[in-house]
């Protein structure tokens, strides 16, 4: 019988060489997979509740943009726009090439002939809107959705955030010239020394010395709008540590006491200001808002005091009262012992272009007074880029 020779056993160096080839192949395959995911990441179909990944968009600075710059009016609405008739009259006196409109409303709500009295608002709602709860991070997520959508149009160079109770105090030509004449954003921002809204656990991501407070109603230049939309660092911290404190319910006993200890930092009054301070951009800001709000301090339960915006009714919107608002030319910030004199393009101007909160009756009175009617633009603000 002839014995078969045993099968040859691969040499040790052959095994090592095969192993290295396998490692190299898997490494290359993983690199290609990662590149594929980055290139084809489904930003457009991802959940609108998160903007953790910035959209890929062209970065167009005001100096590189050639064309007519536009103001993007960004409306945060609970449902419809009750003052659409006033804004419709305001926009009728404008060139449609000079503005854009975006509305964040309740998911599923559509602006059309049956829900709006002005065709300027037809189909201007976001298709990826979210449920917004006052005092929670969903408010600033809605703002970011508005900005992200508006940034898709390279002609949009100024971004104005407005509530559904805001009114313009001047006609379009004046407001357009005012905003375009300034190369800065208008962001009410100051040191928050009295309120205990800063959570120590926000550190070190958000240093306490960068914590700022201010009005939610902002006007941004394009580069600052991009900073907000692209943020992946500060927003998660706000979402983690800023929880809405529920109303007092004594029937819950000890659980109620625990809930009342929940940290409540009101994200919409801190997020933009803090993010821009952390980005070392405060030198590029007019640190004031262009939207007037009258605050009324009222005593609440448990000896706490709360500030509430006053609603202007028909009787309040007198020509004298509107003139008083327009004549305001400076804002004093007690926490910084700072007086902010209102200027645009080095020219002294009225501080406020818009006001809130106005009822339908008050808006009708403004309309009858011709507040948003034709206005002869002077050379006051010079540069219109």
**Domains observed in the chain:** 70-244+264-291 (3.90.550)
pLDDT band at 7 (very low <50, low <70, confident <90, very high): very low
Q: pTM for the full model?
A: 0.78
Helix (H) or strand (E) holding 319: helix 319-326
Answer yes or no: are the C-beta atoms of 356 and 73 closer than 8 Å. Answer: no
204 upstream amide cis, omega within 30 of 0: yes
Weakest mean pLDDT among 166-180, 251-265, 310-324: 251-265
Helix (H) or strand (E) holding 307: strand 305-309
Q: Are strands 156-163 and 70-76 parallel, antiparallel or unpaired?
A: parallel
What is the mean predicted confidence (pLDDT) over 316-322? Answer: 96
Residue 152 has pLDDT above 70, yes or no: yes
Give the chain's mean pLDDT. Answer: 83
| 343 strand-pairing partners | 348
Q: Identify which has the larger pLDDT, 260 or 220.
A: 220
- pLDDT at residue 243, rounded to an integer: 77
Residues of the chain with pLDDT > 90: what percent? 63
Q: What is the DSSP letter of 353?
A: S
Q: What is the DSSP letter of 160?
A: E
Helix (H) or strand (E) holding 104: strand 99-104
Q: How many CB atoms are located within 10 Å of the residue 172 CB? A: 21
Residue 244 to residue 222: CA distance in whole angstroms:
31
| 245 strand-pairing partners | none
């Amino acid at each position: 019988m002839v014995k078969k020779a045993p099968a040859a056993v691969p040499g040790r160096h052959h095994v090592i060489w095969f192993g290295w080839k396998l490692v190299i192949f898997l490494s290359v395959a993983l690199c290609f997979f990662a590149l594929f995911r980055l290139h084809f990441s489904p930003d457009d179909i991802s959940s609108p509740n998160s903007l953790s990944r910035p959209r890929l968009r062209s970065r167009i600075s005001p100096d590189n943009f050639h064309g007519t710059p536009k103001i993007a009016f960004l409306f945060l609405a609970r449902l419809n726009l009750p003052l659409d008739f006033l804004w419709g009259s305001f926009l009728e006196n404008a060139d449609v090439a000079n503005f854009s409109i975006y509305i964040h409303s309740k998911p599923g709500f559509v602006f059309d002939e049956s829900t709006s009295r002005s065709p300027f608002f037809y189909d201007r709602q976001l298709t990826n809107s979210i449920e917004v709860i006052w005092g929670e991070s969903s408010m600033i997520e809605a703002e970011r959705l508005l900005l992200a959508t508006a940034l898709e149009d390279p002609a949009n160079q100024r971004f104005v955030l407005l509530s559904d109770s805001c009114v313009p105090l001047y006609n379009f030509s004046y407001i357009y010239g005012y905003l375009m004449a300034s190369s800065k954003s208008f962001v009410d921002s100051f040191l928050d020394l009295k309120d205990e809204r800063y959570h120590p656990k926000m550190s070190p991501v958000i240093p306490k010395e960068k914590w700022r407070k201010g009005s939610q109603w902002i006007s941004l230049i394009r580069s600052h709008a991009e900073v907000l939309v692209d943020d992946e660092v500060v927003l998660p911290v706000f979402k983690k540590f800023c929880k809405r404190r529920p109303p007092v319910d004594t029937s819950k006993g000890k659980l109620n006491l625990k809930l009342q200890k929940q940290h409540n930092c009101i994200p919409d009054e801190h997020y933009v200001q803090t993010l821009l301070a952390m980005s070392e951009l405060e030198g590029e800001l007019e640190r004031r808002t262009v939207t007037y709000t009258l605050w009324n301090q009222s005593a609440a339960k448990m000896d706490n005091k709360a500030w509430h915006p006053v609603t202007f009714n028909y009787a309040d919107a007198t020509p004298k009262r509107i003139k008083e608002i327009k004549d305001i030319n400076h804002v004093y910030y007690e926490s910084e012992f700072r007086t902010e004199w209102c200027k645009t393009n080095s020219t002294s101007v009225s501080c406020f272009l818009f006001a809130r909160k106005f009822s339908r009756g008050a808006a009708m009175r403004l309309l009858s007074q011709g507040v948003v009617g034709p206005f002869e633009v002077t050379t006051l603000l010079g540069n219109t880029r």
